[in-house]
Structure 1
């Protein structure tokens, strides 16, 4: 006997749901089960009827009847619509068309070509196209002889020669003007500028440099004296302190000097 107190599982059903489930199961058994049994019997009966009655009737009765009806309909359609038109084309229209082509259309075409189209083409070629072509050729020859050739000989050739001569003369004049401009620039601008630079600017620059150096040295000396008077002279670093230690990039003894006040330096 289990003495442990059973605890309700999380999400368990309540008393009302448990009480309603039993009548629902009873109703389902009394109503649904008979309906399901009747449905299964009807399905089995339907399968038996289809297998042993409907399928043989369809296979051995309905399909042959439908095939016979289809063959009858196709035969009637051929008898009413296909075979009459086929016979009409084969035994009436094609023979009549062949006879008409051989005995009417072909002779008429030959007569039309011999007595109308060929004479008309010959008349057109002889009295229209050939004279027109000859007239165009003569017109082109006359235009070339009396228009294009004189235009080329007496207008275009002299004009081209004149333009070539003018272009050559213009090149000569332009070259002379360019050389004159270069000479004028050299004489009026280059030579004076060179003389000014050589005899004016260069001595002036030398003079300014000669004056500026003592002034610069004096200014530097005065600034050094003022700095020395205000802050005193910095301590001289011994020579050994500039030596570097092995494997180090800093000088040996290169330590920052302690800050010295202005009063201690003056004392």
Structure 2
């Protein structure tokens, strides 16, 4: 069975199902009676609006409305200047500025011819002599009154500070801490001279005697004993007993390793013969063909289900509308239709597989 080379919409009665044929006629009637008149009226309104905007509203705005708006803006700006700007400019220019200049001229004249001479006279004949007299009085009071008073207060404070803070600590240091410290130093020197020094010399002599007459002979004896034990007992024991035993144990270890390796190889061979080869044979000659058969059955059943589902869909809804063969099969950027080339002859089972 070869595939059909014709498009799905050709040779099958249009490919429309019964349900699509029942719904399509009322929809076409509704589109002709309602949608088409509404679309025509909408297009007429759009065209009329564009023509009105291009030939009426735009020239009216350019030649009438825009000049009127510009004239109105200029008029409003002029009125605002007349009402809000120019009165304040005239007031500042013709009233405030001349009045300010006159007041400044009067102020400079009053300062130059009235206030400055009066100030100089007042400073020369009143304030300066008064300041000199007050300074002389202040210097005399400071020299003959405040200076002795300050010296007396300073001496009193110094005496109080020495009495309360310095002299008690000085007396404590001189009459208590210094004698006590000297007594403690004399006692420490006596203890060091007559107690610690003889005791230290005695301990040093005792330690030297113990080291010379006890520890050194004992240490020498222990060293000789250890050397003798190593020479006459431990070294012969290691040479003639422990070393041969170690060599025997190492050889036994190597022999046991070889025996275990041989046993492991034998077990591996037995496992391969008894388990591996039968399992490989079962997988290759039983499970693999069974799996291929199950896969073919599954593919065939799935293809049958797809074909039945497609048949039901075509019976209910029909095939979707398709383009003509030449326009649908034409390649991008080419003038030759791809449908002119013969289709490969492939069976349905080969496609599904």
TM-score calculated relative to the size of structure 2: 0.41
Q: Match for residue 91 of structure 2?
A: 80
SS in 1 for 2:11: coil
Task: Report if aligned partners of 1:241, 1:253 keep a CA contact under 8 Å in 2.
Answer: no
TM-score calculated relative to the size of structure 1: 0.51
Q: Match for residue 6 of structure 1?
A: 15
Using a 3 Å threshold, how does the CA distance of structure 1 residues 57 and 164 change in structure 2: closer, same or farther?
Answer: same
Q: Match for residue 142 of structure 2?
A: 132
Q: Match for residue 249 of structure 2?
A: 242
Match of 1:32 among 35, 42, 45: 42
Which whole-Å CA distance do the structure 2 matches of 1:175 and 1:79 have between them? 106
Using a 3 Å threshold, how does the CA distance of structure 1 residues 253 and 35 change in structure 2: closer, same or farther?
Answer: same
Q: How far is 1:84 from its partner?
A: 0.7
Q: Match for residue 51 of structure 1?
A: 62
Which whole-Å CA distance do the structure 2 matches of 1:254 and 1:133 have between them? 122
CA offsets per residue over residues 205-239 of structure 1, 9 Å max, x none?
xxxxxxxxxxxxxxxxxxxxxxxxxxxxxxxx955
Which whole-Å CA distance do the structure 1 matches of 2:169 and 2:97 have between them? 85
Q: How far is 1:86 from its partner?
A: 0.7
Which whole-Å CA distance do the structure 2 matches of 1:178 and 1:22 have between them? 134
Using a 3 Å threshold, how does the CA distance of structure 1 residues 28 and 136 change in structure 2: closer, same or farther?
Answer: farther
Task: Report if aligned partners of 1:243, 1:252 keep a CA contact under 8 Å in 2.
Answer: yes
Structure 2: runs of 5+ lacking an equivalent: 1-8, 18-22, 211-243, 258-353
SS in 1 for 2:35: helix
SS in 2 for 1:78: helix
Match of 2:111 among 89, 92, 101: 101
Q: Match for residue 265 of structure 1?
A: none
Relative contact order (C-alpha < 8 Å, sep 6+): which is higher? Answer: 2
- The alignment covers a number of residue pairs equal to 198
Q: How far is 1:68 from its partner?
A: 5.0
Higher share of residues assigned helix: 2
Task: Report if aligned partners of 1:241, 1:252 keep a CA contact under 8 Å in 2.
Answer: no
CA offsets per residue over residues 177-230 of structure 1, 9 Å max, x none?
66759x69x99xxx9xx9xxx9xxxxxxxxxxxxxxxxxxxxxxxxxxxxxxxx
Using a 3 Å threshold, how does the CA distance of structure 1 residues 239 and 2 change in structure 2: closer, same or farther?
Answer: closer
CA offsets per residue over residues 18-61 of structure 1, 9 Å max, x none?
654444423432442333233323432322223333445556x4
Task: Report if aligned partners of 1:243, 1:251 keep a CA contact under 8 Å in 2.
Answer: yes
Match of 1:168 among 178, 183, 199: 178
Which whole-Å CA distance do the structure 1 matches of 2:42 and 2:81 have between them? 52
Using a 3 Å threshold, how does the CA distance of structure 1 residues 239 and 84 change in structure 2: closer, same or farther?
Answer: closer
Q: Match for residue 224 of structure 1?
A: none
Which whole-Å CA distance do the structure 2 matches of 1:27 and 1:117 have between them? 111
Using a 3 Å threshold, how does the CA distance of structure 1 residues 6 and 241 change in structure 2: closer, same or farther?
Answer: farther
